[in-house]
Amino acid sequence: MRVSEIQRFCMHDGPGVRTTVFLKGCPLHCAWCHNPETQKPGPEILFWQNKCVGCGACAAVCPVGAHRLTEDGHFFDRSVCKGCGKCAEVCCAGALSPSMREMSVREVYAEIERDRAFYGTSGGVTLSGGEPLAQGDEALSLLRLCREGGIGTAIETSGFFDGDLLPALIPLTDCFLWDFKDGNDERHRQYTGASNGPVIRNLLRADELGAVTALRCIMVRGVNMEEDHYRAIADLWGRLCGCLYVELLPYHAYGGSKMTALGGRDNGRTDWIPSEDDMARAADRLRALGTNLK
């Protein structure tokens, strides 16, 4: 499995205490992505320039000469970087870190198993990303091990994945935390790079097959906090039999620093951050349309 990170003692990725496994690779390219290090499927190196002490250890071990220390500072040539991670291994300041590590399914399960004592009756593991179902076969294998071991399971998904996985996934997954980013397909294409059609079709199919779901809707001021999106959320809610609730999540700009560490442009937009009043108005409108909010 291509694992970006394993976070312990998570409280917002499903019921109870969770171990969240972030898998690398995502078919969408959301303008507001807060985990940009999980978008590309292959290895990348994050470079936090403000942490660099200029020791030169990275340049000494890099097999392709991607790191150079000059009078102007530390130059990292990403065009030749292979993502091997040797530089991160010797960086004493933590200025360099790999975006992923390859682990076997059983190695990931062993990490999950370490936290069993904290799960109680409601906690467990959540697969997240990126899009965890971009690694569908591996995700299924891990979920089977968790089911056999009596560990609760959840998947945080964009909904944009191969729907043929659903019949095998649903018996192994206690709850799907299903993103619904925008009910307006034109805006969805503009801000994520893909249609919302597969997301909706997969959700309705999962519901037909008996999936337990929760709709998670990111609220981006000036983008999707619009009547047509609210009505689309309410329409989906009304069509689903196994949906527990709708959760509204305010956009935040924290992903911007990760984008710059990956060599990209800061994608943080403070003007997109909704105020408490914005969120309250959205919640009031959705309740008026008949949805059950978390």
Kindly report, residue by residue over 95-150, the tens digit of the pLDDT. Answer: 999 999 999 999 999 999 999 999 999 999 999 999 999 999 999 999 999 999 99
Q: What does the pLDDT read at residue 235?
A: 97
Q: Which of 98, 115, 143 is the last residue of a domain?
A: 98
How does pLDDT run across 226-254, given as a tens digit for each residue?
Answer: 999 999 999 999 999 999 999 999 999 98
On whether both 188 and 177 belong to a single domain, the answer is: yes
How does pLDDT run across 18-31, given as a tens digit for each residue?
Answer: 999 999 999 999 99
On whether both 64 and 134 belong to a single domain, the answer is: no
Q: What CATH number does the domain containing 94 carry?
A: 3.30.70.20
- The mean pLDDT of 66-71, rounded to a whole number, is 93
* 279 vs 130: CA distance, rounded Å: 25
Q: What is the DSSP letter of 31?
A: T
162, 163, 169, 175: CA torsion to nearest 10: 110
- The mean pLDDT of 138-164, rounded to a whole number, is 98
Half-sphere exposure of residue 202: CA atoms within 13 angstroms, side-chain side = 25
On whether both 9 and 52 belong to a single domain, the answer is: no
| Encoded tokens for 205 | 């199919």
On whether both 164 and 217 belong to a single domain, the answer is: yes
Average pLDDT, the chain: 96
- The mean pLDDT of 33-57, rounded to a whole number, is 95
- The mean pLDDT of 57-69, rounded to a whole number, is 96
On whether both 183 and 51 belong to a single domain, the answer is: no
- The mean pLDDT of 140-164, rounded to a whole number, is 98
* 247 vs 249: CA distance, rounded Å: 6
Domain count for the chain, please give it.
2
| Three-point CA angle 153, 155, 159, nearest 5° | 155
On whether both 198 and 66 belong to a single domain, the answer is: no
- The mean pLDDT of 43-57, rounded to a whole number, is 95
Neighbours of 174 (CB within 10 A): 20
Is the Cβ–Cβ distance between 229 and 199 less than 8 Å? no
How does pLDDT run across 174-188, given as a tens digit for each residue?
Answer: 999 999 999 999 999
* 26 vs 105: CA distance, rounded Å: 19
Is the Cβ–Cβ distance between 242 and 204 less than 8 Å? no
Q: What does the pLDDT read at residue 62?
A: 97
On whether both 125 and 154 belong to a single domain, the answer is: yes
243: β partners: 213
Closest CA to 218 of 194, 188, 256, 262: 188
Domain holding 135, by residue range, is: 2-41+100-288
Q: What does the pLDDT read at residue 255?
A: 86
| Encoded tokens for 83 | 């993502």
Q: What does the pLDDT read at residue 254?
A: 86
β strands within 224-270, DSSP E: 243-250
Chain-centre distance for alpha carbon 266: 18
How does pLDDT run across 188-207, given as a tens digit for each residue?
Answer: 999 999 999 999 999 999 99
Residue 293 falls inside a structural domain: no
Chain-centre distance for alpha carbon 133: 11
Helix boundaries (H) for 16-174: 57-61, 86-90, 105-113, 116-119, 136-148, 166-169
Q: Which of 56, 74, 98 is the last residue of a domain?
A: 98
* 233 vs 165: CA distance, rounded Å: 24
Residue 294 falls inside a structural domain: no
Label residue 214 by pLDDT band (50, 70, 90): very high
- The mean pLDDT of 268-274, rounded to a whole number, is 95
| pLDDT score of 267 more than 90 | no
| pLDDT score of 216 more than 90 | yes
